[in-house]
Amino acid sequence: MLAWPIMIAQLAQNTMGFVDTLMSARAGSEDLAAIALGSSLWLPIFLALAGILMATTPIVAHHVGAQNNKQIRSTFYQGIWVALFLGAVSVILLQNTSFILSRLSLEPSLQAKTEGYLAAISWGFPALLLLQVIRGFSEGHGRTKAVMKIALLGLLCNIPLNYIFIFGKLGLPALGGVGCGIASAIVMWIMLFAGIIYLNKSKFFAHLSLSFKWQTPIPSQLITFLKLGTPIGFALLIESSMFSVIALLIAPHGETVIAANQITISFTGLIFMIPLSIAMALTIRVGQLAGANQILEARKAAFTGIYLTLVIAFFTCLFIFLFVHSIVGLYTSETNIVSLASQLLLIAALFQFSDAIQVSAAGALRGYKDTAVPLLLVFVSFWIIGLPSGYILGLTDIILPAQGAAGFWYGLLIGLSFGAVMLLSRLHRVSKHEYQSR
């Protein structure tokens, strides 16, 4: 019951990226490439900052299990302070990306469109990060349907706003990729206002007497919040930045390679929302059970969730193999892009199992408030094993003739497989230790 609303919310949120890619592709390959490059920069920033705020969920879940309303309220307010600070940081970072893009030897028009897209979307980041606190607070209570409705609202608004700003409707000029950034920023604020209204009107939270008045930061609680959240943020940054580095490394190979890689990232990111949603539900469930000292039940919930993600991985893998060309055809009809994107998607189908294990195990570990060691394991998996393997296979002839973009996706397969084994072993040790120590 916890997972399916989260799943729909994640799918709706990721479908926005799917829609952005699809609609910008119709505007032109250069607009698609601009959004691909822009996404490779803003997505790691967002995931890192949102990951810090994801500490809200396990902290609140533990306090809910212990029925500590005072600490629940305090966690919410401290999360708001953190989100405000991180929102300001995100705007500054995304408004100043020219020093990175200028080093990629891009065509001037492509660089200009990418910078415009990033500048436009940056204004929505403060809203999106504040919404992350509201989401974590609600999900920590096991209230996941409201988040689903807010995400669906965002998706419904995203499509017409994209149409207006990308293609120039209602008297506005056609802005292409920059228009996509403007539409996304507007959607982010719409979703935040919907979240605020939900908290103010919900009878479920009435007993907590929440308000959005200024509350004094409490250093000790901020430190606790950041101590738990920062490893989550860095873990997500490590994972997402590898995709970004891959996109940047293959950028000099031309728009066809960039577009094919972006299509693969877009679709695999979409289906990844399913195991990710289960992982987020595991954080809630394991956190609440651990907070209530129901340690055996927490361990059972963790491994049941992993078994479920493996079943889902089987079907997603099969789906990609059967319909790979139809999937790519949704994005583009250009023969060269279709051919390369289909090859990359077939490689992506192979790591559905390891990806499902590593994300669900990490979600369960967050429920135990274990984030530091998983951060180290993720770093080793992606940056010590995955990315170097991809570089060797993709851009050198050391083992095989250089495979280009495909080599990097083989590297992802290697890194994810190692991460899956290590995180699963960590979960086994942590959950067993919790059981034996109680």
Long-range pairs of 400-409 with CB within 8 A, sequence gap ≥ 24: 404/250, 404/253, 404/257, 405/246, 405/250, 405/253, 405/257, 405/260, 405/261, 405/340, 405/344, 406/343, 406/344, 406/347, 408/246, 408/249, 408/250, 409/264, 409/344, 409/347, 409/348
d(CA 406, CA 105): 22
CB 72 within 8 A of CB 208: yes
Mapping DSSP to helix (H, G, I), strand (E, B) and coil, where does residue 150 land?
helix
Give the count of beta carbons closer than 10 Å to the beta carbon of residue 221. Answer: 17
Measure the CA–CA gap between 259 and 236, rounded to whole angstroms.
Answer: 23
Encode the chain (438 residues) as per-residue pLDDT tens digits.
556 777 788 778 777 877 887 787 777 777 777 887 888 788 888 888 998 998 898 888 888 877 777 788 888 889 999 999 999 999 999 998 887 877 776 777 888 888 889 999 999 999 999 999 999 888 888 788 888 899 999 999 999 998 899 888 887 777 877 888 999 999 999 999 999 988 888 887 777 766 655 678 888 888 889 988 898 888 888 877 777 788 778 777 777 788 888 888 878 877 888 888 888 889 888 888 887 788 888 889 889 999 999 999 999 999 999 998 888 888 777 788 888 889 889 998 988 999 999 999 999 998 888 888 998 998 999 899 988 998 898 778 788 787 778 888 899 899 999 999 999 999 999 887 655 555
Residue 376: C-alpha distances to residues 225, 373, 382 (Å): 19, 5, 10
* Long-range CB pairs of 212-217, under 8 A, 24+ apart, other chains included: 212/80, 215/77, 215/80, 215/81, 217/78, 217/81
Predicted pLDDT at 339: 86
The pTM for the full model equals 0.79
Counting DSSP H helices and E strands in the chain, the numbers are: 17, 0
Any idea where the domains of the chain sit in the sequence? 3-437
Residue 132's pLDDT is what? 93
